[in-house]
Amino acid sequence: MPLYRASPKDGVAWVTGASTGIGKAVALDLARAGYTVAATARDQDDLTNVEEEAAGLPGRILAFPCDVSDEKGMEKTVAAIEQEAGPIVLALLNAGTYLPIRGDRMETTNFVRSFEINVFGVVFGLVPLVDRMRERGYGQIAIMGSVTSYFGLPSAAAYGATKAALNNLAESLRFDLEKMNIRLQVFNPGFIATPLTQKARFPMPALMKVEDASQRILKGFQSGGFETTFPRRLTWLSKFLRLLPRSLFFWLLYKATGWDKRPTGQRGGKRS
């Protein structure tokens, strides 16, 4: 029996981080495809704007504001969506943040907040979703990863670590979820022009428009397997790079990112 794949006639699509960037674009594209979309983000006003943008589309967008790092709040949000709009059959757990980390200005705050939003924000949505989908006997869940999960990049120690954690989490859960007819997917895009990438301080090759990325994600929902990665000219190169000897890998990354020309934060000491 083929693994379940969602359809608008089956129920509701839920998108977290839906007020800006990829989340907003995907929510609108799902509404264009006929879904009733439950949109979650912290800001009610931003979600109201997204609702209004969906006016006249075949589907509709309904705002369910919540902070994804609030465990009880996320549980209540899932319950509210299903009570007010119908069963969640498709979910994109997309909410995330990029907080840059520099080795010469280390602090714990950006690490902690990155994991609270990017990892636990997914877990807090995933747990109540799986409980309900298991009872129904079907569902489709997608997690937003990143090409930064493949290897470390300058200033992305927190962000990349969270995305690597999500990939590992999804790979582990897939074994059990597929037995329950729950399709679990990971999207690992390259660099997308969103408010998050505006914070990056290194070159971003093959930068994609958010509208193009959204179309790739919808195609992944409809026909993709466990991992969907794009643009392939970047992501397949990245997969190759992680196979290289570490010395060559670091030399190439220093050159490609321009990090070899950046001033050091070292204040004394010696190298052995």
Tell me the CATH number for domain 12-261: 3.40.50.720
Whether cis (ω within 30° of 0) applies to the bond prior to 128 is no
Per-residue pLDDT of the chain (272 residues; tens, 9 = 90+): 799 999 999 999 999 999 999 999 999 999 999 999 999 999 999 999 999 999 999 999 999 999 999 999 999 999 999 999 999 999 999 999 999 888 888 889 999 999 999 999 999 999 999 999 999 999 999 999 999 999 998 889 999 999 999 999 999 999 999 999 999 999 999 888 877 666 555 566 778 899 999 999 999 999 999 999 999 888 888 999 989 999 999 999 888 888 888 876 554 444 44
CA distance 157 to 128: 29
CA distance 207 to 194: 10
**How many whole angstroms separate alpha carbon 216 and alpha carbon 207?**
14
Domain edges within the chain: 12-261
The rounded radius of gyration (Å) of the Cα atoms in the chain is 19
Q: At what angle do helices 71-84 and 120-136 cross, to 10 degrees?
A: 40
